Structure 1
C-alpha cells in the first residue's frame, strides 16, 4: 500500500474503547510474554472481596469479562470518548462508571472498596489509600517511562516526560503513602509496527506517546519509516511494563 493511502487510513480508522483488534497483523505487542498475567492477578484476588473499583476501565472490555464480580463494583474512566462506551457495556451489569479528571481525584467516600485495580491508568497514591478500606489491596499494571522509546527515536521526537516512571519509583511512592508492597515485577517485551499507517493510528489514540504529533509536523520522519519498513523488517520496539500489589499498612 502506498504512503498516502496508509497515512489516510491511520488518520481515519475508527477506534472505540480500548480494543486493539483493529491492529490485527499490523501492530503486535507481546504482552503475553510478560512474566505475569494481569487477569490472573485480578481474578485471584476477587474471591472474598465485597467491593471492587477498576480505574481507567477503557470501554469496560476487561472488567466485564471478569464476571462474576463483587456485588459492589464501580469503575472510572478519564478519556471522555470512552465513558459512554464503558457505560453501555457496564451499566447492564450494575456497574456505575464515573468520569474523572487529570487530577486523579476519586468521587467516592473514604474506605469504599476492598480492592482497587488499575491497568495502565494513572493514580494518586494518597487517593488510593483514602478510598481503600482498612487492609484493602491495590493492584496495578503500569506502562513504564521507557515504553516504545524506539518510536520516539525513529520520529526524532523527545522521550517521554515521565521517563523515570518505573517499578522503583511507583513502589517508593506507595510506601511513602502508607502501603506495604507485597509483590512486584518489571519487564520489557517486544513490539512491532508493520506499516506506517498502523503507527499513525497508534499515535492518534495514544497522544501521550508523542504529545506534539501531527502527520504534517513529522512528515519527513514518517516517510523515512515507511521507506524503511519492508516485509520481514518492521519497526521494532519494546513495551516497558511493571506491576505491583500493595496493601494498606496497618
Structure 2
C-alpha cells in the first residue's frame, strides 16, 4: 500500500467514535503506549478511602475510574465540565446513585461548605480555594495533573507552537496555589514519561479525543507535517513524545 493510501486508511480508522475518557481503541490494541509513572493515583485514592464517608470526584470524565472504586462512600458526588462526557458519566454512575453535576467554572462547585472528607481530581483543572471550601476540616485532596508541557513535541512537529500556552502549569505552580490557601502536609512528584505512537492513526485519534491539544486541528490543515510523522513512523516503527504528569496530596487544616 502506498504511503498516501496508507495515510488515508489510518485517517479513516481514526474516525471511530470516542466517548467518555476511554482510550482503549488505541491503548488496548497496542497502538499507543506510555512509560509507567513511579506512583499510582489509583492506589493513593484507594488507600485514602478507608473510613471516608463522603467523596467528590472532580472531572469524572465518563465515570470510568469512579465506577471502579466500589464500594463507594455513602455520600459520593461527581462533576464534569466537558459536555460530551456528561451523558456518558450519568449513564454509568446512575446505578450507584451518583448524580453528575455539570460545572463550568473551577471556583463555583455546587456543593456545601465542608461537604466532603475526600476530594479527588484526575486530569481536571481546579481552584485551590474552592477545593478547600468543599473539604471538611482535616479532609484530603488528591490530584494527578497533566502538566503544561504534555506531548509538546507533537505540537512542535506539527508547527502548532502558538496553540501551546500552558507551560506554567507544573507541580511547583500548583503546589504554591495550595500553600496560599493554607493546605498542610503537601506532597507530590513530577515526571516526564515517554508516550509512544505506533501509527499515524493513533495520533489522529488522540488529537480528536483531546481537542484542546491543538484547538484548530484538522487533518487537511496539518496534512503536510502529519505526512512527515507518518513517514517517520513507517521507517522507524514508532515515534516518541514526552508526556508531563505530576501529583499532589494535601490536607485541609
Provide TM-score, normalisation by structure 2.
0.93
What CA distance in whole angstroms lies between the structure 1 residues aligned with 2:185 and 2:215? 32
Q: Structure 1 pair 232/118, CA: closer, same or farther in 2 (3 Å)?
A: same
CA offsets, 1:195-250, max 9 Å, x none? 1111111111111211221112111111111111126531211211000101113x
Q: Does the alignment pair 1:228 with 2:232?
A: yes
What's the counterpart of residue 172 of structure 1?
176
| Greater shift in the superposed pair: 100-109 or 167-176 | 100-109
| Greater shift in the superposed pair: 49-58 or 215-224 | 215-224
Contact 1:145 1:162 in 2 (8 A): yes
CA offsets, 1:134-178, max 9 Å, x none? 111110000011111111111111162111111100000111122
What's the counterpart of residue 222 of structure 2?
218
Q: Does the alignment pair 1:133 with 2:136?
A: yes
Give the secondary-structure state (helix, strand or coil) at the position aligned to 1:230. Answer: helix
What's the counterpart of residue 98 of structure 1?
101
Structure 2, gaps ≥5 residues long:
none
What's the counterpart of residue 30 of structure 2?
25
4+ residue runs over 6 A deviation: none
Equivalenced residues, count: 246
Give the secondary-structure state (helix, strand or coil) at the position aligned to 1:134. Answer: strand
Give the secondary-structure state (helix, strand or coil) at the position aligned to 2:234. Answer: coil
Structure 1, gaps ≥5 residues long:
none
Q: Structure 1 pair 3/184, CA: closer, same or farther in 2 (3 Å)?
A: same
Contact 1:104 1:122 in 2 (8 A): no
Aligned-residue RMSD, C-alpha = 1.4
Aligned 1:93-172 pairs, distance under 5 A: 93-158=96-161, 160-172=164-176
Give the secondary-structure state (helix, strand or coil) at the position aligned to 1:49. Answer: coil
Contact 1:148 1:238 in 2 (8 A): yes
What's the counterpart of residue 206 of structure 1?
210
What's the counterpart of residue 250 of structure 2?
246
Provide TM-score, normalisation by structure 1.
0.94
Query: CA shift at 1:105, angstroms?
Result: 1.9
